[in-house]
């Protein structure tokens, strides 16, 4: 099996962040920017994990809005926006990149938008992953702990995602059952187990 975004998110959630976080949400925009995995730590801080499946994808990340803040330069006749780089995304205490070890090259450290971001490499089979940190994330000491009402917002999102996942699973099972029955009607045989 080849690493994909879902397999990486699952591995990071189950094998790396599960003990440090009381809640994990995939594909979340709660911070104002996309987080592939958003973790809420036990002491109510935000961890953002960005999943990358190619070198080009990692290099392109530096152009995302989450890494830039706009300041305005004033002179006598005009106001001009001046983008300035961020060291951490908004609201984020720690930021990580997670990617398959086979695409990693140490030269990619220079392509990353912030030297504060940690790097997690995934080795082996996605069913039995090994996750190794090759650079620890530097925490943003200025990042506030989130408030109880914000924890509830994220928990609500996680709950809705869970019910969506159940519905998708039921839809897949219903579709599979339909095709098994159609196969049996047409051929008079049970669907072969090895084809499932």
Asked whether residue 195 carries a pLDDT value surpassing 60, the answer given is no
Q: Compute the average pLDDT of residues 90-97.
A: 96
Q: Which residue has the higher pLDDT, 126 or 140?
A: 140
- Write the pLDDT tens digit of every residue in 134-171: 999 999 999 999 999 999 999 988 888 877 777 777 87
CB 61 within 8 A of CB 50: yes
- How far, in Å, are 79, 83, 85, 86, 123 from residue 74 at the CA level? 5, 14, 19, 21, 50
CATH code for the structural domain at 1-72+82-145: 3.40.1350
Q: Compute the average pLDDT of residues 177-189.
A: 79
- Write the pLDDT tens digit of every residue in 12-64: 999 899 889 989 998 989 998 999 999 999 999 999 999 999 999 999 998 88
Residue 109: pLDDT band (50, 70, 90) is: very high
- The 8-class DSSP code of residue 16 comes to I
Number of C-beta neighbours around residue 48 at 10 A: 27
CB 120 within 8 A of CB 136: no
Average pLDDT, the chain: 87
What is the per-residue pLDDT for 1? 55
Helix (H, G, I), strand (E, B) or coil at 127: coil
Work out the percent of the chain whose per-residue pLDDT is above 90: 57
Residue 74: pLDDT band (50, 70, 90) is: low
List all residues 6 or more positions away from 62 whose beta carbon is below 8 Å from its beta carbon.
111, 112, 113
What is the per-residue pLDDT for 101? 95
**Would you give the distance in Å from CA 138 to the centre of its chain?**
18
DSSP strand E in the chain: where?
Answer: 21-28, 35-41, 46-51, 68-74, 79-85, 94-100, 118-125, 128-135
What is the per-residue pLDDT for 91? 94
């Amino acid at each position: 099996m080849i690493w994909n975004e879902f397999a990486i998110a699952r591995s990071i959630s189950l094998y790396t962040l599960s003990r440090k976080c009381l809640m994990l949400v995939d594909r979340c925009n709660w911070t104002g920017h996309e987080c592939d995995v958003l973790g809420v730590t036990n002491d109510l801080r935000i961890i953002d994990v960005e999943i990358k499946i190619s070198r080009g994808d990692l290099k392109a990340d530096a152009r995302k809005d989450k890494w830039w803040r706009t300041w305005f330069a004033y002179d006598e006749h005009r106001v001009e926006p001046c983008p300035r780089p961020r060291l951490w995304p908004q609201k984020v205490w720690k930021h990580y990149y997670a990617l398959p070890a086979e695409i990693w090259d140490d030269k990619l450290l220079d392509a990353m938008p912030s030297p504060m971001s940690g790097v997690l490499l995934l080795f082996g089979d996605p069913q039995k992953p090994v996750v190794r940190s090759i650079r620890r994330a530097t925490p943003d000491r200025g990042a506030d702990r989130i408030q109880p009402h914000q924890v509830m917002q994220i928990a609500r999102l996680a709950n809705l995602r869970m019910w969506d996942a159940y519905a998708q699973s039921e839809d897949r099972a219903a579709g599979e059952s339909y095709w098994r029955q159609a196969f049996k009607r047409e051929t008079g045989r049970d669907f072969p187990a090895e084809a499932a």
